[in-house]
Amino acid sequence: MPLPTAARRDALRALLRKADLDGLLVTDLVNVRYLTGFTGSNAALLLSAVDDAASRFGTDGRYTSQAATEVPDLPPVIERSTAVALASRATGRIGFESDAVTVDAHAALVSAAEGATLERAPGLVQRLRVIKDDTELAALRRACAVADTALTDLIAEGGIRPGRTEREVALDLETRMRALGADGPSFESIVAAGAHSAIPHHSPTEAVLQAGDLLKLDFGALVAGYHSDMTRTLVLGPPADWQRELYELVHAAQAAGVEAVAAGTATSAVDAASRDVIADAGRGPEFVHGLGHGVGLEIHEAPALSATSADVLAAGMAVTVEPGVYLAGLGGVRIEDTLVVRGAGPAELLTGFPKELQEV
């Protein structure tokens, strides 16, 4: 499916005109990719508020052929100092991504932009990225399907068992995702066994999985630049009573959060739907993070699902719902799904691995 980058640039032009800007200098590589399809490591875009003919895409000589293939519809500028080269061609009131430009880089841009006035314009592209188009949703669905299959196969083939280390399980899981077509993992996979499962963002170690352990796996697949994100907590063998009780509490909280995901709902209200279940059980202080976040070209992006967020859900947003309860020194449970907000009815669930407590 061709990337609708021209349509995205047109949508951004509407925002530029509302902001009374003649153009936008885009230097955040994620935003450049969203607007052009370019996947290299050095690029910038000078987007004219008028049209593509007046815009310029910049990269350096290493990517001349790649740029011609990935960005055939924009006039190229091939310079090592790409953003500075584009700034020198700018005229009028030009916005720049002040949330992504260092102080030193800003000084260089101002010096180069003799024919333009640079104005702070943070977050304009992110306002578009928060609503996923059909191409993005297709990539997210593929990424989630890869992660689902990798975990299913890992368990079916005995890859999670006492005697293996956290690092071995993480490597096995990531290798399977690559074999299924992922470009790589979405982030460093979290494999946390036993007491480590009570650490929300534990990095895998040489700790050996043991019978009776809770095992928390937080991982995702990267497909076409888009990230999936899923957490499942398993138990190695029959669960103890406290493990089953803790799991059922988080399961209920996660279900309440998923049910609350709907267009027009404040993200703080979604957070509360899950958090209240945990707080009512007396475990509120042990749910130590926000309920979730947006996901797309970045693993963490807008909107935020937290008690302090002012965001409101809208159709086309992709978000996670991931409550957790962590008992220090004992173990913890987190359950996470990636979902897409629909215009009406329940959200679309992209992560399909079962959420009932799995004994392996």
pLDDT digits (tens, 9 = 90+) for 157-205: 999 999 999 999 999 999 999 999 999 999 999 999 999 999 999 999 9
> Does 1 have pLDDT greater than 80?
no
Minimal CA–CA distance to 275: which of 305, 310, 295, 231?
305
Q: What are phi and psi of 212, to 5 degrees?
A: 95, -10
Decide: 12 and 97 in contact? Cβ < 8 Å: no
Q: What pLDDT does residue 259 have?
A: 98
Q: State in Å, rounded, how far the first CA of the chain is from the last one.
A: 39
Q: What pLDDT does residue 316 have?
A: 98
- The mean pLDDT value for 280-309 works out to 98
Using CA atoms, how far residue 241 sits from 234, 235, 246, 278, in Å, is: 14, 12, 9, 18
For residue 285, the one-letter residue type is P
Indicate the domain borders of the chain: 5-129, 134-359
> Does 17 have pLDDT greater than 80?
yes
Helices vs. strands in the chain: H and E counts, helices first: 10, 20
Q: How far is CA 320 from the centre of its chain?
A: 9
Residue whose entry in the numeric block shows the structure tokens 């202080």: 285
Arithmetic mean of pLDDT over the chain? 97
Non-local (6+) Cβ contacts of 77 within 8 A are: 56, 57, 58, 85, 86, 89
**Residues composing the chain:** 360
- The mean pLDDT value for 293-305 works out to 98
- The mean pLDDT value for 250-275 works out to 98
Q: What is the CATH number of domain 5-129?
A: 3.40.350.10
Q: What pLDDT does residue 3 have?
A: 93
Using CA atoms, how far residue 23 sits from 12, 117, 124, 142, 153, in Å, is: 10, 11, 12, 35, 49
Task: Give the homologous superfamily in CATH for domain 134-359.
Answer: Creatinase/methionine aminopeptidase superfamily (3.90.230.10)
Report residue 148 as tokens: 């689902």
